Structure 1
């Protein structure tokens, strides 16, 4: 009984759809009779428009064009039908014929903005951007209300296609000065503010809009993004908070506010607003990743891994997420689990020097020197000109006790990556460890002369080197000089 009642109500509510369908079916049958020479009822101008639109939407272009031609024969002074046919000709790339029809339509009626939009479409298709822009620029002042806004937005698209990006911003600014609440212009100018870097202008524009329309949440949002573009994060957050106070389900405002809090290193606040984003919007890997990043910065590695994993479930081919999980394990010295995550990252991107270096570091910490050196060599092959990668390989050889090989690879490192001060310190450490102390001290002295600040790298490589009195004396001597 209940179901039948619902069905009856729905049938009644949507009965107009059946009526519209029946009317359209009758029109199509009458048109079919007309084109096949059978008897038919009179088709007025509106009926032809419906028929043309029907076949156009179904991509039955030959029949749509035929309908337009028959319609124009019967109504030769209809600018609307001429525009319909011109649009079909543009879709079939018959641009010269389309322009001819548009000229005829202009004689009959110059007040239809579709005339100028179609002319613009032709010139864009012919790669004649200057003509396309000129058509719209000449007409904007002739129209009011929504028509003027439509032409300004169309002109913005022309400048975008022409790669005149500053003029895109100018058009959108003009549109908002004329209609401050136009949502399309508000959405678009946000992107173009960031793209062109015209943050100061955007701040002035949206501040003036807010003065007149204080509950325009998009204006508050655009003001916030412009402030954020100038790295004024505290002020940006204030503006975002106004935006979400007006529209509490404004997910992009929560997203950007989270980014602003992260820039200020206010990770707890960032987590709170990003969690709000998750409550009102579809889950996204970037949001989970950002929350994971915040927990990592708070040294809450278990929570960080939880959110990195949630991100990886949504984006299973993103190797960076597995790497971040690995790093969170490494920060807790959980080398075995870190290695498992690094294996997942390397399955996707086996040539990453960063992943191979981290894998080598894990094995080195576990005193599995052979495995560590294999991964350090992989990293060197991936980035042979990187001093950092060579540094890791040399450290691995040093820790593993392969001092002769370390000295040999050091020469190759200087050849590939340049004679960096860090390499001088490493050469000094290797020579001292080999018992060639005097030679090692000479290299240490040269390193201290050139880059005294990075002597800590020597101690990080081998803290036991400070047991050599001559090494400590030499370092102390240069500290006194500084």
Structure 2
């Protein structure tokens, strides 16, 4: 790619400067060359070289306001804010209408978390600057720091009014709309923007994202299509288009789209995983499994890949293989309650009830407080004869789900089995009041309790009320 004249000049200055450092000769540079050299080193994180260039620059141009402003920028970067502020006061006395002085002062206020003062200072800079877009963008960022998304959005829009190709500002406008849950307003803004800039692949891509958020997947595909027509190597647009096609159940088209992303860049485990899911939806089990294995080969630490294989084997009722792969996922993320729940269900299917109980317990300990988890856990404890532990779990569950018949029937059944008839009667009464129609839970899970004469009498008496 051919460099612009300014880039060529800058590269020559850098080469000349680095040659000077190697030979210890002193070459002359004008002050603007020094500014470009210093900013280049700061941008690339080579602060020591930036400092050397600044010292040499000030030696050759001791009265250069531009170099002193770069010095301020470096001091701000190093959090030497008081020193930077003193230097700005000196510069302000010399050039009170230099917008860069106000911009640097605003940076200092911002670093001190005084964002309102930073905005006030940037608004003064607006009076003197020729680059309104840049200052509007800075004000927008200060409002973002203050979590005032409405005002931030307004200033990023002002920035785009000045410079329509400032894609950073465009992303920020859309971010504000997203955060404010204003997807329809975002679409309205993007459509106006596209009317003026019809070949902006970024705008088309963002438009597609908004339609996707609104679950208008047909429109999302349409917008992503334009983004990829304008830029046929736009990886993100192909990826989002593929996700939209999946939502429309156009699985073969989604696969083709994901495969395009694999051609454009290094393969990603995400693309392999999604291709596998699409093949499974198409009932092509062989190819689905092939791509799931590619997923974990590409990223062996991607727990979602191992879980995809686990779920594949669960659906095939091959629980022995499912157990092997769910253990892989748990080895990567041992605090994931969903994985432990799968572990429990697989072991239950294999009649490994003690392991199943461990799985449900670990799911609970990992933050799963869903009713069905409590019930499945208690079912395992009941099966293992751990009646008192099962009761303790159900009493904990009743604090989270105070009026749940599933819990009350099980408490009644367990208390009767432990011959604590008063407690059993109390919970059975609660259960019958909550949901009489499901009283056969007792017959299903507690046949011994169900056969008790007093239990049948209690149910009959309730029926006659």
For Structure 1 versus Structure 2, the TM-score category normalised by the shorter chain is: 0.7 to 0.9
**Distance change (3 Å), C-alpha of 1:430 and 1:228:** same
The answer for the alignment partner of 2:75 in structure 1 is: 89
**Distance change (3 Å), C-alpha of 1:187 and 1:370:** closer
The 8 Å contact of residues 38 and 51 in structure 2, kept in 1 or not, is answered as: no
Q: Aligned to 2:406, which of 416, 422, 443?
A: 422
Q: Does 1:237 align with 2:217?
A: no
Q: Equivalents in 1 of 2:297, 2:133: separation in Å?
A: 44
**Distance change (3 Å), C-alpha of 1:375 and 1:114:** same
Q: Does 1:411 align with 2:411?
A: no
Q: Aligned to 1:151, which of 128, 132, 135?
A: 135
Q: Equivalents in 2 of 1:88, 1:206: separation in Å?
A: 37
**Distance change (3 Å), C-alpha of 1:201 and 1:333:** same
The 8 Å contact of residues 51 and 67 in structure 1, kept in 2 or not, is answered as: no
For residues 367-382 of structure 1, the aligned pairs below 5 Å read 367-379=351-363, 382=366
Pairwise CA distance, 1:335: 0.9
For residues 4-153 of structure 1, the aligned pairs below 5 Å read 23-24=16-17, 45=31, 49=35, 57-59=46-48, 63-64=52-53, 66-73=55-62, 76=63, 78-106=64-92, 113-140=99-126, 142-144=128-130, 147-153=131-137
Q: Equivalents in 1 of 2:12, 2:205: separation in Å?
A: 45
Q: Equivalents in 2 of 1:51, 1:235: separation in Å?
A: 47
Aligned residues: 444
**Distance change (3 Å), C-alpha of 1:44 and 1:283:** closer
Q: Secondary structure at the match of 1:203?
A: helix
Q: Aligned to 1:357, which of 320, 341, 353?
A: 341
The 8 Å contact of residues 14 and 37 in structure 2, kept in 1 or not, is answered as: no
Q: Aligned to 1:192, which of 176, 179, 183?
A: 176
In terms of Rg, which structure is larger?
Answer: 1
**Distance change (3 Å), C-alpha of 1:220 and 1:42:** closer
Q: Equivalents in 1 of 2:99, 2:280: separation in Å?
A: 56
Q: Secondary structure at the match of 2:113?
A: coil
**Distance change (3 Å), C-alpha of 1:181 and 1:307:** same
Pairwise CA distance, 1:134: 1.6
Structure 2 length as normaliser, TM-score?
0.76
**Distance change (3 Å), C-alpha of 1:461 and 1:349:** farther
**Distance change (3 Å), C-alpha of 1:453 and 1:100:** farther
**Distance change (3 Å), C-alpha of 1:158 and 1:59:** farther
RMSD: 4.6
The 8 Å contact of residues 113 and 151 in structure 1, kept in 2 or not, is answered as: no
